[in-house]
Chains A and B, each alone.
Chain A
Amino acid sequence: MSLLNYFSTQPKSASIAKERLQIIVAHQRRERSSIMSDFLPDLQKELIEVVRKYIEIRDEDVNIRVEQAENYEVLEVNIALPDSSIVKIHTK
């Protein structure tokens, strides 16, 4: 197949752009409309504080993500615990 042929059978770049943008914008808008996006930063801060009462962790050890599924959202909280040898367990 000649190069010319190759290009003529490809969709035009503008329609590729449109398709990509439709996906991007839909994704951005879903994320914005998530009921959790408003309070996620606060939730993260408070979670860190709670966990710190018991285990010494750094801010960056806590990772929060909201996953979008068809018609529900998943809140994923990941807390990386430090090496057990240096864990300082707080006791009340």
Chain B
Amino acid sequence: MGNISYLLLRAEKLANQNSDPKIIVVTSGKGGVGKTTTSAAFATALALRNYPTVVIDFDVGLRNLDLVMGCERRVVFDFVQVINGECSLNQALIKDRRVENLYILPASQTRDKDALTLKGVARVLEALKKRFQYIICDSPAGIEHGAIMAMYFADEALIVTNPEVSSVRDSDRIIGMLASKTRRAVQNLEPIKEHLLLTRYVEKRVGRGDMISAKDVQEILAINLLGVIPESSSVLQSSNAGIPITLDQNSDAGEAYHDAVARFLGEEPPKRDKKGLFSRLFGN
């Protein structure tokens, strides 16, 4: 039985791998809601499924992704230097030591966000598309230049939202920008596929009526809900250690991220003894 489901999964994987490379922006408007945590978690989970994956830090001047991925001491060159032709793409890419098929393109610590240009970003993304199936863009907070650079070329967007008023309002503004300030919008192509990812969710507080529920956030923003990630002390622990949360076998948040990735890929959600948060809330 286990074997059969394994074979099915493999077949699906091979089929998927032949599809076009995808650029995914992880964005939010509001700061500190979990974009970098999500970028690292998603990229790692995709690579664990054998998809060649790269995750790019667009937070120029305030890089963080290298820390969450645990590769900060291996950063030599960065994204801006690649854009400026000061090093090759290969020199700047950092190969993850734990997961095959996983690479990190770090941000510059010394430059500012204006160092990114549409032309430069386009050139790097084109080169990455030749090597990777998934290109994850970790957006900086805000709705200015840096955030626009991160979302401009995206095919799909993960809109990271906390169940809290200012985060939900900012997410709606980001949804508006995705629909107007991106390549797909400007060129009148098929719109960016949007996914809502609710993070730092505390079911108990929702039950008590002092935190807005996943259903309500989904209803207000009216986009596809990809997953609900619980508030979890394991997230801080894993970022302390520089281990993406999806490598932690015992984390409820890590499990919720794996489920979200499965849903993202259109797979059947994995059967578990204990139902995940999303399944309990939405019954699938």
Contact = CB atoms under 8 A, between A and B. Distances in A.
Q: Do A and B come from one complex?
A: yes
Interface of A: 12-15, 17-18, 20-22, 24-25, 28-29, 32
B165 A17 contact: yes
B169 A32 contact: no
A17 B212 contact: yes
B206 interface: yes
The DSSP consensus for interface residues of chain B is helix
Interface in B138-176: 164-165, 168-169, 172-173, 176
B9 to A, nearest CB: 38
A24 B212 CA distance: 15
Given A20-B165, A25-B220, A25-B221, A12 B209 contact: yes
A20 B213 CA distance: 14
Contacts of A25: 168-169, 172, 220-221
9 contacts: A12-B208, A12-B209, A14-B216, A15-B209, A21-B165, A22-B220, A24-B169, A25-B221, A29-B176
A58 B121 CA distance: 37
A52 B242 CA distance: 60
Nearest to B165: A17
Contacts of A29: 172, 176
Interface in B15-58: none
Contacts of A18: 212, 216, 220
B180 interface: yes
Given A12-B210, A17-B165, A21-B168, A32 B216 contact: no
A13 B211 CA distance: 7
Contacts of A15: 209
A32 B221 CA distance: 14
Contacts of A17: 164-165, 212
B209 A13 contact: yes
Given A12-B210, A21-B212, 9 more contacts: A14-B213, A15-B209, A18-B216, A24-B169, A25-B220, A28-B169, A28-B173, A32-B179, A32-B180
